[in-house]
Every structure is written in C-alpha cells, then in structure tokens.
Amino acid sequence: MLRVLFLNDYPMNQARRLNEQGLYPSQHLWGAKELPQFGIEPVYFPDETWLGHPAKYRFAVQQIQAWVMASKCDAIYSACQPNTWLLARMRSLGLLRKPLVTMVHHPLQSRLQNDAYVAGHDALVFLNESVRQQTLARYGDKVKLSRTLPWGPDLSFYQPTPGVTPTTDVLAAGKTNRDFVTLIEAARGQPWTLTIYCADHNIPAGLDVPPNVTVHSNAAGNVLNYRQLYEVSERARVIAVPLLEVDTLAGLTSVVDALALAKPLVMTKNKWLDLDPEREGFGHAVPVADVRAWRHAIGACLDQRATGMSVRAQAFTQKTNMQQFARELAALILTL
C-alpha cells in the first residue's frame, strides 16, 4: 500500500480522534479516512511537533520536519495550500524527491504562492473550477497536473434523528467573512425566526437585534462543538450562509453541512464557489448585502412548496460526497 504523508493547518490526529468518537465528520480529514479503501495509507503528521512553535514560523517548521519524514513515505499530500510553499521550493531544487500534492482553496495571491510554488508541485487539486482556470491562465505550462475535486460531506456522520421537530425557522452559523448584520436586517419585522451562532466580532456592539432573532456568541466563535451544531441544525427549516464581499472562497463548510442535512439553503453569492443552489434546485444565492433579496429567498424556502429542495439536496450529495472525493484523490496520487 502506498504511504502518503498527510499535512494540514490544524491538528489532524485530534480531528481523527474526534471522528472516531462520532463527534466530527470525515470531510475535515480531507479524504484521509477513506484513502485506505483505494490503496493509500495516510501517515498523519504528529500534531505536537509543530503546534508549539510561534505562529509566524509554525508552517515552516512543519515543512522542514515533513521533508525529513518524507524519506519513509511515497508522497506528500497537504489539505491546505499555505503548508507547502517551502516543500515546493525543495522539490524544484531536487532536495525533495517525493511527489508533492496540495489542495488549493483560494486564488493564488500570496507572495509565497508564485511561479516556483506552482512549478514545485506534482499536482494541484482545486476545490472549484474557477480557481483552477484562473491558475492555468496565470501560470500556464508551469502547472504540471491539475484536477478539480468538489468537496462533499461524510454521509455516515449525518444520520437523521427520528422525531426531530423545528425549533427555529432559519439557522446561520460561522465566524469567518460572515455578514450577519444584513441577515438580521432581513429578519426584522418578518414572521419567521432566526438563530445565529457566531463570534463576538461578527455582531457590532449595540446593534438593535429584533425579538425574532436569537444570537449566541463568544470571543472565539466556538459556541458549539460539531456534534452540537449538527443537532441544532437538524432543528432548523432553512440554513443561511450570509457572506461579506471577499475575493476568496468562503462559506463552503456551512454549505456542505446544509446539503448533508438536506436543508434548503440561502447563501450570499461567492464567485469562487462553483455550486449554484438555484441551478441545482435546493436553494437560492443572493447578492452581497441585499436585505430585500434575503427576505424574498428565505420566504421562498420556507414556503410549503419548498419541500422538493430537501429531496434535491439529498440527491446532490449522493454524487458529491467524501467517498467520491477520496476515490478521485487516490486515483490522482497513484498516477504520480
């Protein structure tokens, strides 16, 4: 079986333990749990060997240690694009002799992600075709191999709980690039309820929150663990993903959760997210900061006729899920 060293920007051994306890879905292991089914043994990078270093140097330390560990592996796979800038340079100089693969989440804009970064990877795996096409247009023949692999849910984690009844009409959770202010304004004066889980910085101090809106927040934004978030999400009729205008991929985790739960989805449009909920028939995408559009879209999803959205969301995850992601990722790695 091929041995592949697996890197990420958060503790993967901890994530694996939580997954084994049923507290965390395997999509946050980026295929590593499923890879053995397809002939690849993931070697999890030790959490303690790099997390103790200052944040400024943490990823550099991780990559130097990965370079040493690579002698006992057949390839290196990183689920996060900033984690391989040094390894890519080593690969270009012939100092790293093992194939190097990384997931690309966002447009390559960092000063560490340039010609040498692209050329030093044996394969770039993109979460969306838009970023892949931009990369190919910018770097041309420096890209050795590229694939777009849609990220989907671990369906075994999202098992319906019998007898669940709604406790809120609309649920929104998250802390990165979130526009909860627009969503709260959309809820003002409406007949539906909204529940938000977020970080303190997402809601401006002194904001007048209407009585049909409940906000749960703390400084870190970790109000709920993943299992608790799953349980409250099950009790929502609609999942909302309100986003600020940013030039990065945003909101994907919440979108995947909504699909796995077969919930109608309303989200802010993001040009780096290929998925179109209106085209697929399980929700709506609205312009940035458009209160009226949010009200209309949520009203449409709460309509009794929206039950077909749940069926179409469920059908979508049957073809876009973590099992399929891992299958295609393994096939790519095995060709290198």
Of 332, 289, 320, the closest CA to residue 154 belongs to 320
Alpha helix ranges (H) inside the chain = 12-20, 55-69, 85-92, 115-119, 129-139, 180-187, 226-234, 252-260, 277-280, 291-302, 307-317, 322-334
In sequence order, what DSSP letters do the residues of 182-250 get, joined into one string? HHHHHHTT-SS-EEEEEEGGGS-TT----TTEEEEEESSS-SS-HHHHHHHHHTEEEEEE-B---SS--
pLDDT score, position 57: 77
Q: Which regions in the chain score pLDDT beneath 50?
A: none
Give the right CATH number for 168-317 from 3.30.413.10, 3.40.50.10490, 3.40.50.2020, 3.40.50.2000: 3.40.50.2000
**Domain 2-154+321-334 falls in which CATH fold?**
Rossmann fold (3.40.50)
pLDDT score, position 55: 63
Domain spans, the chain: 2-154+321-334, 168-317
Tens of pLDDT along 238-275? 999 999 999 999 999 999 999 999 999 999 999 999 88
Tens of pLDDT along 98-153? 999 999 999 998 888 889 999 999 999 999 999 999 999 999 999 999 999 999 99
Alpha helix ranges (H) inside 99-240 = 115-119, 129-139, 180-187, 226-234
User: In a 3-state reduction of DSSP, which class is residue 318?
Assistant: coil
The Cα 96–Cα 289 span in angstroms is: 47
Whose tokens are 């049957």? That residue is 318
- Quote the pTM value: 0.93
Question: Do the domains 2-154+321-334 and 168-317 sit in the same CATH topology, yes or no?
Answer: yes
In eight-state DSSP terms, residue 214 is E
pLDDT score, position 59: 82
